[in-house]
């Protein structure tokens, strides 16, 4: 019998563990300032310029262990990129719960409002390679690693609350379909191609998610302005072993905002690092991104009270039915020191949970539980990826796992098995009272089958709910997106089949897309939608299922209803040249900065501009280095010469026209009317706009700087004026 050596203390871990992660990374930090160059083994290098040769014109010697080490390391610098979510950006931060959630969960980090839990968050796109553009039309990953005092909890979510498929069995097919086509490796980071829509048109269960990816949710303005979702239904378990179902949400405090599709495509060329840069710069400037953690909690007894199945990952629980309770705040406050060591090597796993959190039988979640460890084995080179500094928990690790590639831990003693007596029985199993994890004892009594529950068969009701909940401009964007994507599909039969699916969601939607494609909506779905019936069933027997849900609209699903009360961190351009009215420029700039905006003076060239009264004003960007798509709003100050220069400058006029096209707020000093008159959109303004101050759909003109700046600030905080997009579309 094993005898216990010492009893582990229950209270060993301190409550405030924020600095523990920072401290644990510290020994691995390397700063070469003032240091001599060495080999990987610490031998000082005397010459890093020349290889060792047989004479200065002779052949290089194999003996040159310094060059061989350097080149060997270089040859192996790249590791396989993630098969999905390859392109990502990350940040460190802290999480703090508002009040104890002990009633629902025994997870300690959700119990103590004083406890600050360190976190590392990685945002990503899904389909593109590591070097692809941030602005692809795509789902965004929102993966959070909480380094809790009970071990790591990873909430590996997305910015869309549902998924394309219901069963993990279909994930490789989905990913093969959306990735660049295998024969020619095109297109990069785009779903607008035949194989994706071929698959989707044969997978009616993807209808709901496709509505989201064709909406502006797939084009976030910033990682700081998008929601996050755990997607699956999880379980909270309290210390009485009572379970509740839980859906996790992240709510950004800056609201949920997106860019236009035309804008996204331009940004991809002008600054493919747009989101990465935005996150980095916000944190560097102290504008820390903040999100509240929300939970929707459902009692176990209410499991079957919905008109969909809680285990089906293609369904969400409308917030109007089960409200989202905000229980804590995540603040991202530190950029990584090294992209590779942290952002690239971080290994998330939906199976990293702590006592108090548990899984459900969602068949997508169940499959994910296998995939994440498996993928790290190949990507990070073996079973010791948990020892990479960014992946280490802040609590000690003790078990009998041993050896393998790149093992860091030096385990002492002769015992690496359990039970043992030679090691005094260590490491001991933890009792529940000592924080030992036990799975929720869910009752299972079932036949072993390869089947899908009929409760998963309604693929369209929530797709329709989503579409119906959108504002008119949001609906238009979905029509445009589908018309664009299917327009890129070359196989007519796939387009038609997709129209059959769209007709199940909304006939108006299907008709508009059909019009744009020059096709008719098929009378009945082109092919039997047979994905939800067993393989031996007859596909012809399958009829689309649609329950009649109680809820017809969910305002929470529309971004039109998001928070619009601040211009913090919005990027605002001021177009000016020599001779600018310095009051007009500087007063506006100060007013915008006072509200937390980032303001750039943009002139035809870099350097400084000279104001009417000889003030020297620094230029932040030139019209050559930036474009309107990198800004949220634009202001044109007065000053006779500046106005004359800008009115005659095609790049400035293009800047304004494009800002108008993308529905941004535009302001001008009345003195700068000549510039506005040179734009295309001035023809779309009311005839008397020159004579008085106008606040029309985000166009603000006036000569009272106080009034002008407060009207402009109100307009910028609206984010975009999508209503003007269709009726007043301009070329740009």
Q: Which residues belong to the active site?
A: 85, 158
Q: Which of residues 20, 179, 251, 368 is near ligand HDE by CB under 6 A?
A: 368
Question: Using CB under 6 A, which of the segments 267-275, 371-379, 569-577, 712-720 binds ligand HDE?
Answer: 371-379
Task: Fill in the DSSP letter of residue 660.
Answer: H
- Measured from the CB atom, the residue of 347 and 560 that comes closer to ligand HDE is 347
DSSP 294-331: EEEEEEGGGTT-SSS-TT-TT----TTTSPPEEEEEEE
Instruction: Tell how strand 699-702 and strand 357-358 pair up.
Output: unpaired
SS3 293: strand
Q: How far apart, in whole angstroms, are the C-alpha atoms of residue 191 and residue 489?
A: 10
Angle at the Cα of 602 from the Cα atoms of 599 and 606, rounded to 5 degrees: 120
Question: Using CB under 6 A, which of the segments 370-378, 492-500, 573-581, 674-682 binds ligand HDE?
Answer: 370-378
Q: How far apart, in whole angstroms, are the C-alpha atoms of residue 132 and residue 180?
A: 12
Q: Least distance (Å) from ligand HDE to the CB of residue 231?
A: 3
Cis ω for the linkage preceding 154 (within 30 of 0): no
- Measured from the CB atom, the residue of 312 and 526 that comes closer to ligand HDE is 312
83 binds ligand HDE (CB under 6 A): yes
Question: Using CB under 6 A, which of the segments 82-90, 130-138, 287-295, 676-684 binds ligand HDE?
Answer: 82-90
Q: Least distance (Å) from ligand HDE to the CB of residue 2?
A: 37
Site for ligand HDE in 480-539 (CB under 6 A): none
348 binds ligand HDE (CB under 6 A): yes
420 binds ligand HDE (CB under 6 A): no
**Rg of the chain taking only CA atoms, in angstroms:** 29
Q: Least distance (Å) from ligand HDE to the CB of residue 342?
A: 11
Of 321, 353, 345, 319, nearest to 237 (Cα)? 353
The residue written with tokens 């490491």 in the block is 427
The tokens describing 455, both together, are: 């409760």
- Measured from the CB atom, the residue of 157 and 604 that comes closer to ligand HDE is 157
Instruction: Tell how strand 228-229 and strand 234-237 pair up.
Output: unpaired
646 binds ligand HDE (CB under 6 A): no
Q: How far apart, in whole angstroms, are the C-alpha atoms of residue 622 and residue 603?
A: 5
Q: Which of residues 163, 197, 655, 660 is near ligand HDE by CB under 6 A?
A: 163
Angle at the Cα of 399 from the Cα atoms of 395 and 401, rounded to 5 degrees: 120
82 binds ligand HDE (CB under 6 A): yes
Please report which helix (H) or strand (E) contains residue 447, including its range: none
The tokens describing 42, both together, are: 């610490």
- Measured from the CB atom, the residue of 364 and 627 that comes closer to ligand HDE is 364
Q: How far apart, in whole angstroms, are the C-alpha atoms of residue 142 and residue 227?
A: 9
Q: Least distance (Å) from ligand HDE to the CB of residue 223?
A: 12
Q: Least distance (Å) from ligand HDE to the CB of residue 295?
A: 15
375 binds ligand HDE (CB under 6 A): yes
295 binds ligand HDE (CB under 6 A): no
Q: Which of residues 8, 367, 487, 528 is near ligand HDE by CB under 6 A?
A: 367
Site for ligand HDE in 95-134 (CB under 6 A): 122, 124
Q: Least distance (Å) from ligand HDE to the CB of residue 137?
A: 17
Site for ligand HDE in 201-230 (CB under 6 A): none
- Measured from the CB atom, the residue of 127 and 510 that comes closer to ligand HDE is 127
Give the residue at shortest CB distance from ligand HDE: 141
Question: Using CB under 6 A, which of the segments 150-158, 247-255, 650-658, 668-676 binds ligand HDE?
Answer: 150-158
Q: Which of residues 85, 106, 661, 662 is near ligand HDE by CB under 6 A?
A: 85
Q: How far apart, in whole angstroms, are the C-alpha atoms of residue 642 and residue 576?
A: 6
Q: How far apart, in whole angstroms, are the C-alpha atoms of residue 215 and residue 227?
A: 14
Phi, psi at 394, each rounded to 5°: -85, 0
Q: How far apart, in whole angstroms, are the C-alpha atoms of residue 543 and residue 530?
A: 9
Please give the biggest Cα pair distance in the chain: 95
Lay out the site mask for ligand HDE across 297-326 (x = CB under 6 A, - = otherwise): ----------------x-------------
Of 597, 578, 608, 620, nearest to 667 (Cα)? 597
Question: Using CB under 6 A, which of the segments 84-92, 249-257, 405-413, 593-601 binds ligand HDE?
Answer: 84-92
Q: How far apart, in whole angstroms, are the C-alpha atoms of residue 224 and residue 652?
A: 29
Q: Least distance (Å) from ligand HDE to the CB of residue 523?
A: 34
- Measured from the CB atom, the residue of 248 and 712 that comes closer to ligand HDE is 248
- Give the total of residues touching ligand HDE (CB under 6 A): 25
Binding residues (CB under 6 A) for ligand HDE: these are: 82-85, 88, 122, 124, 141, 143, 156-158, 163, 168, 171, 231, 313, 347-348, 364, 367-368, 371-372, 375
């Amino acid at each position: 019998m094993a005898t216990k050596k010492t009893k582990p203390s229950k209270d060993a871990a301190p409550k405030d563990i924020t600095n523990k992660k920072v401290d644990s990374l510290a020994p691995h930090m390397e700063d070469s300032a003032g240091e001599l160059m060495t080999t990987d083994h610490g031998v000082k290098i005397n010459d890093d310029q020349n290889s060792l040769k047989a004479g200065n014109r002779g052949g290089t010697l194999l003996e040159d262990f310094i060059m061989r080490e350097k080149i060997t390391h270089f040859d192996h610098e790249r590791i396989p990129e993630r098969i999905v979510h390859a392109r990502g950006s990350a940040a460190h931060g802290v999480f703090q719960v508002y009040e104890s959630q002990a009633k629902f969960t025994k997870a300690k980090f959700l119990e103590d409002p004083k406890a600050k839990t360190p976190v590392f968050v990685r945002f990503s796109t899904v389909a593109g390679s590591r070097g692809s553009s941030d602005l692809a039309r795509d789902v965004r990953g929102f993966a959070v690693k909480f380094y809790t005092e009970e071990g790591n909890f990873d909430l590996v979510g997305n910015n869309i609350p549902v998924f394309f498929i219901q069963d993990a069995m279909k994930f490789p097919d989905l990913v093969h379909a959306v990735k660049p086509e295998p024969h020619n490796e095109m297109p990069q980071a785009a779903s607008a191609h035949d194989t994706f829509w071929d698959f989707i048109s044969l997978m009616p269960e993807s209808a709901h998610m496709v509505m989201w990816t064709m909406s502006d949710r797939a084009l976030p303005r910033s990682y700081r302005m998008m929601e996050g979702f755990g997607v699956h239904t999880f379980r909270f378990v309290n210390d009485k072993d009572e379970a509740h179902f839980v859906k996790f949400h992240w709510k950004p405090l800056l609201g949920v905002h997106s860019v236009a599709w035309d804008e996204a495509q331009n940004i991809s060329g002008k600054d493919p690092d747009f989101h990465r840069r935005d996150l980095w710069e916000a944190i560097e400037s102290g504008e820390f991104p903040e999100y509240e953690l929300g939970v929707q909690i459902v009692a176990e007894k209410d499991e079957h009270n919905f008109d969909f199945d809680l285990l089906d990952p293609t369904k969400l629980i409308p917030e109007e039915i089960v409200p989202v309770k905000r229980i804590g705040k995540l603040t991202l406050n530190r950029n990584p020191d090294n992209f590779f060591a942290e952002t690239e090597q971080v290994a998330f796993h939906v199976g990293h949970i702590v006592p108090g959190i548990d899984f459900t039988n969602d068949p997508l979640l169940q499959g994910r539980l296998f995939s994440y460890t498996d993928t790290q084995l190949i990507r990070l080179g073996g079973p010791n990826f948990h020892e990479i500094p960014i992946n280490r928990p802040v609590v000690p690790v003790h078990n009998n796992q041993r050896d393998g590639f790149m093992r860091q831990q030096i385990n002492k003693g002769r015992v690496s098995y359990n039970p043992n007596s030679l090691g005094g029985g260590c490491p001991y199993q933890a009792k529940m009272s000592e924080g030992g994890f036990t799975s929720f004892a869910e009752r299972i009594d079932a036949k072993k089958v390869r089947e899908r529950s009929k409760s998963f068969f309604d693929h369209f009701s929530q797709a329709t709910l989503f579409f119906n909940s959108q504002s008119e401009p949001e609906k238009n964007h979905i029509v445009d997106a589908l018309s664009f994507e299917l327009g890129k599909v070359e196989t007519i039969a796939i387009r038609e089949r997709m129209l059959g699916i769209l007709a199940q969601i909304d006939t108006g939607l299907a008709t508009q897309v059909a019009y744009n494609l020059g096709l008719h909506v098929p009378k009945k779905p082109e092919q039997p939608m047979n994905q939800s019936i067993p393989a031996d069933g007859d596909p012809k027997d399958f009829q689309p299922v649609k329950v009649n849900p109680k809820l017809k609209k969910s305002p929470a699903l529309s971004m039109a209803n998001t928070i619009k009360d601040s211009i913090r961190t919005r990027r605002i351009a001021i177009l000016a040249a020599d001779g600018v009215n310095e009051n007009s420029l500087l007063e506006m700039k100060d007013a915008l900065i006072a509200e937390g905006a980032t303001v750039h003076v943009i002139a035809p060239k870099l350097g400084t501009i000279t104001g009417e009264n000889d003030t020297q004003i620094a230029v932040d960007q030139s019209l050559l280095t930036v474009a309107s798509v990198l800004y949220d709003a634009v202001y044109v100050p007065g000053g006779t010469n500046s106005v004359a220069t800008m009115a005659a400058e095609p790049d400035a006029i293009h800047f304004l026209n494009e800002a108008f096209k993308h529905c941004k707020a535009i302001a001008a000093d009345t003195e700068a009317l000549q510039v506005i008159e040179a734009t295309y959109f001035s023809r779309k303004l009311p005839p008397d706009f020159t004579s008085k101050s106008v606040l029309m759909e985000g166009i603000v003109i006036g000569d009272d700087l106080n009034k002008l700046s407060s009207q402009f600030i109100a307009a910028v905080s609206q984010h975009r004026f999508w209503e003007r997009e269709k009726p007043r579309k301009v070329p740009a």
